[in-house]
Structure 1
């Protein structure tokens, strides 16, 4: 069954912490890269998009696409922004984007990385869980760095889960985020998942090469490419992506904006800056006939 998956990446100030090497943000980017690669290669019809939950508001970087290179390029642009994580709003925007997937048969799934204290109350999370469950959206959560989040997120996953389609992965203190993710059912299909923890990184990143040699090799190459990319980025200054100021928007306006963005159909386009303004000129306007008013 094809899957439409939207990732929510934590990009708050807490992601500077060095308990993951070299810090939480870069460890999260590496894990997200490998997860995106695995999902796209698992099924030719799978699509992936992602947003970040730090800053004054959530930022959509990529709408649903099957272009893994485009997603990986955008992942490398993610920067730390803002003091807190907008967990609930991020999941609502991701859910809205998933409703506009081009393949109605694709199962809807959100994978949320959480490395900051959850600001929402248990009541807020219960309301969110009921909404997502009603819309038949599965939710996987990767929790790391903040042990106090675990009880809240466990309760949330239990409420949102339908037929055990949602999971919580709590990364133990001092454990490597990528290694733990690769040894989990969030990363693997059930038929290739190995319950043996700790050996995943040494034998095809947790994938049995005898079962799926192509996936094992692709994951290994992906990790090597990401390490090279991060090393190159570390040697030159980076600029933060352009983010439209939506701090004064209501939640309804923000969701409506995300809806408009999610309906963009550009899977073959080049990587772009996040949150393009609705009235921004399109490629057709730039490359086609001139505006009659200007003639």
Structure 2
């Protein structure tokens, strides 16, 4: 992969709470961020990846481009789910962060993970006209843009706007490549399907118009060609190793979180049992108690 500075924009709007992508839309994005980070930095150690949240009062830069994976994970952990996505403003902020990258020889790329609908009534910068104008600005400033559309973003209206954005920024036929991956819900993980697209795997086939629609998630982690992660490790062993390490790290992280949740649950049960032997004054008020207090 080329030497790049990449800003990943995550959709932390209320739509990210939906569980149609396992385990939730936001957690699916977290796994995708891990996958993208490892694919970029391990294929080229001098590449860097930053993180930006798109919803809330305004988009927020969580990390400027870095090679520190722990910093990116910390940024994800601190992200709050709230509000509505502000796509146009987020891409503009990401462009500004890339402009001030430490290594000016790095190519600039923005990868947008989008699971909600575009709402121009909420932010005028999200109108189709303004987004196309922004796409042309990205092209002028040599900033490549990829979209991963899933959830509500797969709807015809939002998808059409994203397709026009990709076309305006140069499409897949440009030297830098600009792609749209449309990933509907399925039995597998979002990252399992994403790894088969040119956004992560530069050797994956893409359509000449820049629209990489991934409509079949049934292949799972093995991909449709029977190879692990959808690529032949013999043709690109470094990428295959990077992807394996990424998935192993993500699995270890999820295992740690499960153990932590189990330990927290055990502590809560212990506290509850101990609390049962004390007076009623030490108990947390129940909903029924609140109602009865209101009547007295």
Instruction: Assess if the C-alpha contact under 8 Å between 1:10 and 1:113 holds in 2.
Output: yes
Instruction: Report the Cα distance in structure 2 between the residues aligned to 1:110 and 1:200, rounded to whole angstroms.
Output: 26
The residue that corresponds to 1:178 in the other structure is 191
- SS of aligned partner of 1:201: helix
- SS of aligned partner of 2:19: coil
Q: Which moved more, 1:126-135 or 1:5-14?
A: 126-135
Instruction: Report the Cα distance in structure 1 between the residues aligned to 2:254 and 2:220, rounded to whole angstroms.
Output: 22
Instruction: Assess if the C-alpha contact under 8 Å between 2:54 and 2:86 holds in 1.
Output: yes
RCO higher in structure (CA 8 A, sep ≥6): 1
Q: Which moved more, 1:66-75 or 1:176-185?
A: 66-75
Q: TM-score, structure 1 length as denominator?
A: 0.73
1:54-133 aligned at under 5 Å gives the runs: 54-80=55-81, 82-119=82-119, 120-133=126-139
Instruction: Assess if the C-alpha contact under 8 Å between 1:8 and 1:50 holds in 2.
Output: yes
Q: TM-score, structure 2 length as denominator?
A: 0.72
The residue that corresponds to 2:48 in the other structure is 47
Instruction: Report the Cα distance in structure 2 between the residues aligned to 1:44 and 1:6, rounded to whole angstroms.
Output: 16
Deviation digits for residues 77-96 of structure 1 (CA, Å, limit 9, x no counterpart)? 4331x221011111001101
Instruction: Report the Cα distance in structure 2 between the residues aligned to 1:37 and 1:29, rounded to whole angstroms.
Output: 13
The residue that corresponds to 2:221 in the other structure is 201
Q: Which has the higher helix share?
A: 2
Give the Å deviation of 1:169.
0.7
Instruction: Report the Cα distance in structure 1 between the residues aligned to 2:221 and 2:240, rounded to whole angstroms.
Output: 10
Give the Å deviation of 1:206.
2.2
Instruction: Report the Cα distance in structure 1 between the residues aligned to 2:180 and 2:205, rounded to whole angstroms.
Output: 17
Instruction: Report the Cα distance in structure 2 between the residues aligned to 1:170 and 1:158, rounded to whole angstroms.
Output: 15
Deviation digits for residues 236-285 of structure 1 (CA, Å, limit 9, x no counterpart)? 48xxxxxxxxxxxxxxxxxxxxxxxxxxxxxxxxxxxxxxxxxxxxxxxx
The residue that corresponds to 1:166 in the other structure is 178
> Structure 2: any 5+ residue segments left out of the alignment?
120-125, 207-213, 265-296
Give the Å deviation of 1:159.
0.6
Instruction: Report the Cα distance in structure 2 between the residues aligned to 1:93 and 1:178, rounded to whole angstroms.
Output: 25
2:202 to 179, 184, 189: 189
The residue that corresponds to 1:228 in the other structure is 252
Deviation digits for residues 53-109 of structure 1 (CA, Å, limit 9, x no counterpart)? 1221112111111223332343344331x2210111110011011111222221111
- SS of aligned partner of 2:151: coil
1:13-52 aligned at under 5 Å gives the runs: 13-52=14-53
Instruction: Report the Cα distance in structure 2 between the residues aligned to 1:137 and 1:61, rounded to whole angstroms.
Output: 20
The structure-2 alpha-carbon separation of the partners of 1:79 and 1:231, relative to structure 1 and needing over 3 Å to count, comes to farther
- SS of aligned partner of 2:136: helix
Q: Is 1:144 aligned to 2:157, yes or no?
A: no
Instruction: Report the Cα distance in structure 2 between the residues aligned to 1:27 and 1:145, rounded to whole angstroms.
Output: 11
